[in-house]
Structure 1
Amino acid sequence: MEEREMRRFNRVITAALCSTVCSVMLMPAAFAQTAEAEEDSGNEPIIVTATLRAMDVQDIPLAVTAVAPEALERQGINDIKNLAAISPSFNIQSSQTETQGTSIKIRGVGTTGNNTGLESSVGVFIDGVYQSRPGVALGDLVDLERLEILRGPQGTLFGRNTSAGALNVTTKRPSLSTTEGFVNASYGNYNFMNLQAGVSVPVVQDVAGLRMSGTWRKRDGYLKTPSGVESNDRDRYMLRGQLYVEPNADVSIRLLADYAKTDEQCCQAVIVRETELAPFSALHGLASDGVDQSGSSALNNLSINAKNYLNGSKQWGVSGELKWDLGGAKLTYIGSYRKFDSSSTTTGGFTGNDTYTVGNGATTSRPGILPSGDHIKTMTQELRIQGTAFNDKLDWLIGGFYGDEDITADQTMTLNADFQKTNSAFNFANLAGSNPLLAFTRAGNGGVAVDANGNYAENRFLQNAKSWSVFTHNVLSITEKLSLTLGARYVKEEKEASFSQLGATTGAGSSACQATTNAVLAGQVPSALQGGAILLNCFPFAVSTNLTAPAALGGGLASRLLPLPRAWSDTFKDDEITYTAQVGYKANEDLLLYAGYSHGFKSGGFNLDPMSAVLQNSAAVLAGLQTGTVVAPVYAEPDFKSEKVNQIEIGAKATLFGSIKANLALFDMKMSDFQVLEFTGVQFLTFNVNSARSTGAELELFGKLSDNISANVSATYANSRYPGNCADGVVAAALPSTRRLCGSSLTNAPKFAGVVGLTYEGQVSDSGWGLLVNGNINYSDRRRTSTIPLDVNTAGTVTAPVPLDYQDAYFKMNARIGLTTPDEQFTFEIWGTNLSNEITRGITANTPLRGGFGTRSRIGFVEEPRMYGMTVRAKF
């Protein structure tokens, strides 16, 4: 289909969906007059397990959003990446890879990550099992019982790394008495295809049941180069099996196993701003500047420049749950093991130039070179005992948790034919001749030019993390209306990590970095260009740790004189007591008032980056050699400190007019040692900021307006920011970055976000056919999309706002129309998401190796454009 015809078709589909939704929303009474009234009143309790107890969400003194599977289906939410369409407090973004570069935020607070050493501030739990990284939890949401978004610190009950919140997902259990199943099939634009199916069968009537479910999803990429190379596609599947046994009324056993695989082209970015240095490309020997599509036109047309970016993963896991009523108490045990393997290959650095390859896809790569990726093995054990005392006045719970995680992170990079030319053109321009970096290498190798093409390094990081904790959580009913909740957890974390290399290019005859190193140490490179020569020609991800210094300077490793990668091994230990206290006052059956204080904790760890332990005082060390003075080397520490948070929350939960739930929460979160990851263009720099803060309010309104019409309104105001003194006490190496954060808002933290939805469910006249019409509008205020808002010149003295940091405010609309047969076995739906086709950026960053202060090229990682299609559902 030609582009003009496709655009016309998009407009027709959008108009049809919008007009139908609007007409039904404006004339609900006409349908209501002929439709049968539903039996429920809209005031049934919504049962959640946010306190590890089955309770009505309106009786829990916590801010919890409970999402039913039907709500996920109506909004077209296939995985957790789209949950912001339901909860405005929730935000999730991905950068270059989804398996490594995914970050979850709640109330504007979260850890921006493209570094396996960082753990999420928002914990994800599936059937009670902790998922150690967001990338591990990105599987499709299918066959669910419920999904809960817990906002604010949850460390007392949900254990590890929930300083900002938790996502608690529960899948459906097998039925012990009846056979049931479902099949959903969807097709949409970008050749979207999705098949979901599940079946539950009782194996022994009323004693044992088996449930199998799975999903397969495939879609073309919505980003494309002029030559047709696509990115951001979907190609994944997942299978899950469960056995549930109730041998008697006191014991239940649940065994689960799952397997998932992805094989996708992800994640490219649009060059939203091109550098002014592009004209220098020909001067430095490049046949092309590598960028044909850039700026607002590229963004609107979803046009990219680079070759395939590949991202795949395989994972499987098993878990078991035992529940045993001991009479005076109930015991719960959950044990799990999960193995996750990912790989990624990227070429070109978001441009069409042949600059470098991350992974094992380069034509110049050594045969058998390893792919880049993570290999994570996680084992968890949790035991809880809970019961009541004092005539049920006290509901008590005690428990213990142990987790053991092994990570092998491989980072492989090969420098390609255009690497040095690109460095020269876009980082030195015409400051030192037509090709200064090649001149450096020539000077350091007896006048013989050395090309970086083919230079490589296979970097390997190993980390073992052990975590154990004991906890208690108790609810004391002081009176029939007044309750007090007290909880605490002691957490101990131990991590051992190391960095080494499996292989790398060495020797002046083959390594451009070795030649440049020799030239710099020999004083053959102008002082103004020495730092750039080392930083760019010794690209950290593709440099050997075994580079040597000249014999005249004492020989040994060059990393003792220059800021170059060096092998390291280190240990991290920390412990903390997290706690929570809430007072709840149930004024009447329809009103709960509460206030609480919580202290949360997220473990520190190690920056798994080759430059995380480099020499910090190179200039002083070299100056000392020239004067004969011994200057002790100072190396950066590869670890970072644990993050802590204190939160005050005051709220009210009410039921209005018999069926409308109204929940309000006011919160103030204060973080200390807030963990930040910055990509400088050549390395990932991880550091702790002294403080960060998020203050705001959340409002949720949902329920039935009539027998057939329901509505939901959610709004979040969050002033998430770095205070003006956020750099106090920060280590010297992180000061230049931290000072540029102080006074700014947190990344991807809009001050205001909201969701408004309306749903009609009824019958079409007297035909018996059911009609579903759903519309949802999602709003986000403008938000920052870069890690650091200010750019700095090479001297570190001039700062200016980074280009295109802010994503402007926007509205996005989803809609769905469905017809269900009178026997309720089949449903036919048409749907659309982001119907207005708002093209928005989730993350914006500097294009690697392309421009400096005042001339930076910028890339934007684009969120999904308009999607539409049809779905057929069948159940039995």
Structure 2
Amino acid sequence: MGRKLTAFAAGLLASSFLAAPAFAQDNGGAGQEFDDNVIIVTATLRAADVQDIPIAVTAVQPEQLERQGIADIKLLSSISPSFNIQSSQTETQGTSIKIRGVGTTGNNTGLESSVGVFIDGVYQSRPGVALGDLLDLERLEVLRGPQGTLFGRNTSAGALNITTKRPSLSNVEGFVNASYGNYDFMNLQAGVGAPIVEDVAAVRVSGTWRKRDGYLKSTTGAESNNRDRYMLRGQLFVEPSADVSIRILGDYSKVDENCCDAVIIRETELQPFFAYHGLASDGVGPSGFSALEGLDTNAELFRNGAEQWGVSGELKWSIGAAELTSITAYRDFSSFSRQESDFTSLKIFSVGVGGSTTTPGFPKNGDNIQTFTQELRLQGKAFDDKLDWLVGAFYGDESIKAQGSMMLGPDFQRAVSAGNFANVAGVNPLFTLTALGNGGVPVNANGAFAVNLFDQQAETFSVFTHNVFSLTDSLSLTLGARYVDEKKVASFDQLSASNGACQASVTGALTGAIPAPLRAGMVGLNCFPFVAPVNLAAPTALGGGLASRLLPLPREWADTFKDDEITYTGQLTWKPTLDTMLYASFSHGFKSGGFNLDPTAANLVNSAAVLASLGTSTPVAPVYADPRFQSEKVDAYEIGFKGTFGRINANIALFQMDMSDFQVLEFTGVQFTTFNVKAARSRGVEVEVFGKLHDHISMNASGTYAVAKYSDDCDDGSPAAVVGSVSLLCGQPLTNAPKFAGVVGMTYDGPLGSSGWGLLGNFNVNYSDKRRTSTQHFERTSAGTLLELPFDYQENYFKINARIGFTTPDEKFTFELWGTNLSNEITRGITANTSLRGGTGTRSRIGFVEEPRTYGVTVRTKF
């Protein structure tokens, strides 16, 4: 990282010492309401009224976040119906964001998000990195549709643009908020800013601490989905003259939580056979919808944590008629997870340090992501302000080290035999049949393990321009483009592994000692991919060497991915009156391809042909899967209207997003596969109405109707290795893409009669149609029949938030009583197959549960 740190230091020095005649900040009031109708945003990297820009954007004020109890971006869907975010197993590694039903699902670090998150102009490389608390904000903007021209390559569905509050150069100001609620929820937020040289330099420090018990309770006594995190942020703001401003920020945060267990919402019909295989318990007590409503799980303890820090420097410098912006940033993010992701009380397997089946000193499971970014922009106006121009360049350097560690437990072979063979192969075949490949002595998988390391180094460079041409006083044309160059170098190396049961199964299968109908199952299960050694040996009679040249087993690899793309946009805007605007736009967006960072990513794909040709005069050469997946592209069309009618704003957007090479991750119950789907589309309409009904009464209502689905011919051209999975998606809705979602809210913020006290009353309802929660909706039997996977759909629901507060006459203190999800709707964000438990037609299914009803009190003070 020496090169990155050197570059970062150079960027900070530039931000600190480049100075010239003065610059008056163009967004000095950004994010503040100047009057009832004006909300300033920077969605176009220029300060502008949200009603004057030809982009579908939801501008969220800090007060709205507080009134809805939105402490982090996971809850933004309660005020932005186009927005959806979900996590599975871990929040730091398995979080995905969607806008208009479009986004990348899955917990694979090689996948980047379709929705970019930017905090103070700095790109957050993965959603898990951006999950810190929303603290001390100036504004938050949800930008819908491709934003690649201005915000970069991984914004093919949209972007979140978050800006924190900077210190005042003239006043001392601060705040303290303290909350307590059910599940023993405690939250403390505080911040203070002060000038150190009046009108020239100031500092601001803010922090938050949040703690809460978990709302999922296991039969083992473990709990999950708690909160235990804190964050600190400090910044220095310097304005040495009217033409120059320098902002340097640093933050540190730590998370150590129990996340993320899941409810078994459907148990396998093979449950009775666990006793047949000698287990005193099948490991599952509560299951089904009674377990879902009761928030009851069955697993041992999950843990998920992260530690990260970052620094950034922003320089704004007016150079005559132009303004230079430089943003330099470095971030170091480390996560860990301990997963008992068999989701039962049996000791089947554990991921990471300290699991129920791991030995002391076992290595951690987690990611380390180090990112350096540098952006330069030069912008200004020309031709008597008829041209508003912007040019820029961006460089990013990212290093990922993702380590996966898993150990099998004493119940592995019996439980997996029960969940996959029932009684058709005798008692515990995964144990007893290993004797056929081990000289007559069966091999126990207890203690088998693997520690796998994925290394990815990525560089991206781009140049871009974005220009607004005023054709007449009421008609303007926006043209923008960005050229992006990508390079990623990745590898899979196994640090250590031991699995005698896997070796015995491989030997027995390749020598023919194991009966033919059981060979694939024996190898696939005893060689569970996450604990399969890469150095498994083939029998000498078959030429020796690695077994992975004959069977689809993990193998080490190293490869390079390169791509370049031009993204572009064109927008025509017409303002027939000062208060109305019509626009039409086309955008071409891009999301980087990369690598499937999974042990199975480069497995043999023609095993049957290779084995059949052994000993013949024409042996078939092995063909291995390509660990790379291609870049995702989107063509987006939008027609919109924005109008201001007195104190009420009304916005409408009609959109269509056509995706090609859409990136999909699927968990089969045994392994993760990543592939491209030829085509998918999201088409619909969004409506937003917001404003004031009275001096003290405001309202908001918004809705999104979208049909987001895979094309009927989405498997055309798919590689043979994945065509079976892809074909099951064709014609199906995208995951977590309801046809309709809406939000309605009303707020009173004004005097309490003539008492001198202030009254805050807020009521908010959000609704979602039913939505798919799994990657796949079907699975195919051996006879080719399609079966629906159970409980794929989350049914429609309403969720209600409310808050009432009282402010003292001197406006120093506010006391609030609040509740979120007051209707206590228990909903699932993601549904998946339970690992290794049940086969086609007998699947056990798990659901990852969204937050239940919470309520509490908050006291606020400010100065």
Q: Which moved more, 1:366-375 or 1:533-542?
A: 366-375
Contact kept? 2:350, 2:357, Cα under 8 Å = no
Match for residue 767 of structure 1?
755
Structure 1 position 620, deviation (Å)? 1.1
Whole-Å Cα distance in 2 between the matches of residues 364 and 231 of structure 1? 19
2:558 paired with 1:589: no
Whole-Å Cα distance in 2 between the matches of residues 63 and 309 of structure 1? 39
Whole-Å Cα distance in 2 between the matches of residues 348 and 596 of structure 1? 45
Equivalences for 1:83-482 in 2 at 5 Å? Answer: 83-347=76-340, 349-362=342-355, 365=358, 367-482=360-475
Contact kept? 2:37, 2:691, Cα under 8 Å = no
Match for residue 648 of structure 2?
660
Equivalences for 1:623-702 in 2 at 5 Å? Answer: 623-625=612-614, 627=616, 629-656=618-645, 658-702=646-690
Residue type at the aligned position of 1:161: N
Match for residue 785 of structure 2?
798
3-state SS of 1:700 partner: strand
Residue type at the aligned position of 1:821: T
Residue type at the aligned position of 1:498: S
Offset from partner CA, 1:508-533 (integer Å, 9 cap, x none): xxx10001111001101121111111
Q: Which moved more, 1:806-815 or 1:761-770?
A: 761-770
Equivalences for 1:533-612 in 2 at 5 Å? Answer: 533-612=522-601
1:820 counterpart (807, 810, 823): 807
Whole-Å Cα distance in 2 between the matches of residues 125 and 190 of structure 1? 32
2:686 paired with 1:711: no
Match for residue 602 of structure 2?
613
Contact kept? 1:348, 1:355, Cα under 8 Å = no
Structure 1 position 686, deviation (Å)? 0.1
Residue type at the aligned position of 1:745: P
Contact kept? 2:338, 2:355, Cα under 8 Å = no
Match for residue 11 of structure 2?
none
Contact kept? 1:102, 1:134, Cα under 8 Å = yes
Structure 1 position 369, deviation (Å)? 2.7
2:731 paired with 1:743: yes
Contact kept? 1:484, 1:584, Cα under 8 Å = yes
Structure 1 position 146, deviation (Å)? 0.2
Whole-Å Cα distance in 2 between the matches of residues 472 and 574 of structure 1? 20
Whole-Å Cα distance in 2 between the matches of residues 542 and 106 of structure 1? 36
Give the TM-score, by structure 2 length.
0.95
Contact kept? 1:41, 1:707, Cα under 8 Å = no
Offset from partner CA, 1:755-779 (integer Å, 9 cap, x none): 0001111211111100000000000
Structure 1 position 367, deviation (Å)? 4.7
Q: Give ranges in structure 1 of 5+ residues lacking alignment.
A: 1-39
3-state SS of 1:552 partner: helix
Contact kept? 1:695, 1:719, Cα under 8 Å = yes
Whole-Å Cα distance in 2 between the matches of residues 149 and 363 of structure 1? 42
Offset from partner CA, 1:485-516 (integer Å, 9 cap, x none): 0000000000000001110115xxxx100011
Contact kept? 2:339, 2:355, Cα under 8 Å = no
Residue type at the aligned position of 1:130: Y
Whole-Å Cα distance in 1 between the matches of residues 55 and 349 of structure 2? 49
Residue type at the aligned position of 1:208: A
Whole-Å Cα distance in 2 between the matches of residues 101 and 796 of structure 1? 34
Structure 1 position 228, deviation (Å)? 2.9
Contact kept? 2:364, 2:405, Cα under 8 Å = yes
3-state SS of 2:480 partner: strand
Whole-Å Cα distance in 2 between the matches of residues 174 and 591 of structure 1? 35
Structure 1 position 731, deviation (Å)? 1.3
Structure 1 position 625, deviation (Å)? 1.2
Structure 1 position 703, deviation (Å)? 0.5
Residue type at the aligned position of 1:867: T
Contact kept? 1:701, 1:714, Cα under 8 Å = yes
Structure 1 position 446, deviation (Å)? 1.2
Match for residue 856 of structure 2?
869
CA 1:796 to 1:263, structure 2 compared with 1: closer, same or farther past 3 Å?
A: farther
Structure 1 position 66, deviation (Å)? 0.2
Residue type at the aligned position of 1:69: P
Offset from partner CA, 1:740-764 (integer Å, 9 cap, x none): 0001100000000000001111211
Match for residue 4 of structure 2?
none
Match for residue 532 of structure 1?
521
Match for residue 76 of structure 1?
69
Whole-Å Cα distance in 2 between the matches of residues 455 and 712 of structure 1? 56
Contact kept? 1:514, 1:547, Cα under 8 Å = yes
2:835 paired with 1:842: no
Whole-Å Cα distance in 2 between the matches of residues 83 and 687 of structure 1? 29
Contact kept? 2:220, 2:298, Cα under 8 Å = no
Structure 1 position 259, deviation (Å)? 0.2
Contact kept? 2:444, 2:501, Cα under 8 Å = yes
Count of residue pairs the alignment pairs up: 831
For the aligned residue pairs, the C-alpha RMSD in angstroms reads 1.0
3-state SS of 1:320 partner: strand
1:725 counterpart (682, 707, 713): 713
Contact kept? 1:92, 1:102, Cα under 8 Å = yes
Contact kept? 1:42, 1:703, Cα under 8 Å = no
Structure 1 position 368, deviation (Å)? 3.1
Contact kept? 1:727, 1:738, Cα under 8 Å = yes
Whole-Å Cα distance in 1 between the matches of residues 122 and 469 of structure 2? 28
Which consecutive segments of 4 or more residues in structure 1 shift more than 2 A? 40-44, 362-369, 626-629
Structure 1 position 729, deviation (Å)? 1.2
Whole-Å Cα distance in 1 between the matches of residues 533 and 177 of structure 2? 52
Whole-Å Cα distance in 2 between the matches of residues 286 and 256 of structure 1? 56
Contact kept? 2:354, 2:360, Cα under 8 Å = no
Residue type at the aligned position of 1:863: E
Whole-Å Cα distance in 2 between the matches of residues 668 and 686 of structure 1? 25
Whole-Å Cα distance in 2 between the matches of residues 796 and 335 of structure 1? 58
3-state SS of 1:100 partner: strand
Q: Which moved more, 1:846-855 or 1:359-368?
A: 359-368
Whole-Å Cα distance in 2 between the matches of residues 678 and 141 of structure 1? 31
Whole-Å Cα distance in 1 between the matches of residues 69 and 673 of structure 2? 36
Whole-Å Cα distance in 1 between the matches of residues 151 and 264 of structure 2? 40
Structure 1 position 796, deviation (Å)? 6.4
Match for residue 26 of structure 1?
none
CA 1:748 to 1:774, structure 2 compared with 1: closer, same or farther past 3 Å?
A: same
Equivalences for 1:500-519 in 2 at 5 Å? Answer: 500-505=493-498, 511-519=500-508
Match for residue 24 of structure 2?
none
Whole-Å Cα distance in 1 between the matches of residues 749 and 783 of structure 2? 61
Offset from partner CA, 1:376-407 (integer Å, 9 cap, x none): 00000000000111011000000000000000
Whole-Å Cα distance in 2 between the matches of residues 253 and 706 of structure 1? 40
Whole-Å Cα distance in 1 between the matches of residues 281 and 776 of structure 2? 31
Offset from partner CA, 1:781-821 (integer Å, 9 cap, x none): 0000000110122x261211100000000000000000001
3-state SS of 1:490 partner: strand
Q: Give ranges in structure 2 of 5+ residues lacking alignment.
A: 1-32
Structure 1 position 627, deviation (Å)? 4.1
